[in-house]
Structure 1
């Protein structure tokens, strides 16, 4: 084998060995705790992921109660905009993804509450789940879910964006907040069955909607 062929083979082997490392994306990572604070570091991300910034904002009674920001590696399906509306509280998820090293230096933009879109779903008021709720923006599904708070199982109902109800996102959200999420399409499709537990403000669990792992 000639020296030239030997060199070509060596370059090829080195290319195969080094290419995955050379193509690995480096991103900022900042995973917030429940207080919303985090320490920013850098992380080498798995292949087929992007750099992402995510923001979870919750409103109740017209006031902003929660504004949580995070950064990390993100799969394409995690780069979403979404809204969950339970009447007493509405939580907006916004994200911003990019594909170059350390490109997620900026926070994701803050979401804003949109105008009613004409769709209606049932919501719970105390132990009564017969109230109707006007959905906003891209909230095109009705949602029912149960959360554990204060040792009690609480049923909450309302409106949600389609992405919240996707199989991927529902599995992630349910895994984080310990709930079973049921979604449907069509006005008032989320059953007006009453509950026996009082309605608890559904804000703290939704802080955990930071989907980046």
Structure 2
């Protein structure tokens, strides 16, 4: 009898339900209007992401977006080049239309004791005190036009691994290397224009 009930239960079980989430993907850094979207498959969650960028201490990007997302794309992390910093925060939930509110921008973080090199002018010998969960030193290449510029700084583990979002590496181009240990990102000289550091942020304007 129990076996028969189990068989009927399996046969009559509904297929795995997909979530319905709010989607809001601003174009060109502008605002957008929430729309309802059914996620493409079971396993997706509803997510809200905030991206905040600073240059010279001034906020230059303050963007919020919403969409269906996978669990491994829910994270907090930052990429710090000293003169510019980008902070990404994601809030995920698992019920229909639960992502109605934007992800909260992380508060001010304090130095965590980790130290990395960063570029200032034509050299990369400056000391950058990493903050919050920035536990790796990073070296990357920014390509603007035909010119490749090396940038160095601090980054969170999830920024380095790209686990949070497949487009995270777009922050500094395809050439990226991370390491652990104070000053492990080398202090070789390079040419790093301050304005070039802002350009790669454009690639984070859309969720995958």
TM-score (norm. length: structure 2): 0.86
Aligned pair partner of 1:105 in 88, 100, 122: 100
- Identify unmatched segments of 5+ residues in structure 1: none
Structure-to-structure mapping, 1:18-97, within 5 angstroms: 18-20=14-16, 23-45=17-39, 46-97=41-92
Instruction: Report the CA distance shift for 1:187/1:206 in structure 2 as closer, same or farther (over 3 A).
Output: same
Q: State the SS of the aligned residue for 1:68.
A: strand
- Counterpart Cα distance in 1 of 2:130 and 2:27: 30
Structure 1 residue 171 displacement after superposition? 5.0
Give the aligned length: 202
Question: Is the 1:78–1:212 contact (alpha carbons within 8 Å) kept by the matching residues of 2?
Answer: no
Once the two structures are superposed, the pairs formed by residues 134-153 of structure 1 within 5 Å of their partners are 134-153=129-148
More displaced 10-residue stretch of structure 1: 199-208 or 106-115: 199-208
Residues 89 and 54 of structure 1: CA distance in aligned 2, closer, same or farther (over 3 Å) = same
Which consecutive unaligned segments of at least 5 residues does structure 2 have? none
Greater helix fraction, Structure 1 or Structure 2: 1
Deviation (angstroms), 1:196: 3.8
RMSD: 2.4
1:101–1:169 Cα change, 3 Å: closer
How many angstroms apart in 1 are the aligned matches of 2:22 and 2:128?
A: 39
Distance in 2 separating the partners of 1:207 and 1:146: 15
CA distance, structure 1, for counterparts of residue 172 and residue 32 of structure 2: 20
Query: Is the alpha carbon distance of 1:183 and 1:83 closer, same or farther for their aligned partners in structure 2, counting shifts above 3 Å?
Result: same
Bigger Rg, structure 1 or 2: 1
**In the alignment, is the contact (CA less than 8 A) between 1:155 and 1:199 conserved in 2?**
no
Is the 8 Å Cα contact of residues 54 and 210 (structure 1) preserved in structure 2?
no
Q: In 2, distance between residues paired with 1:48 and 1:166?
A: 22
SS at match of 1:208: helix
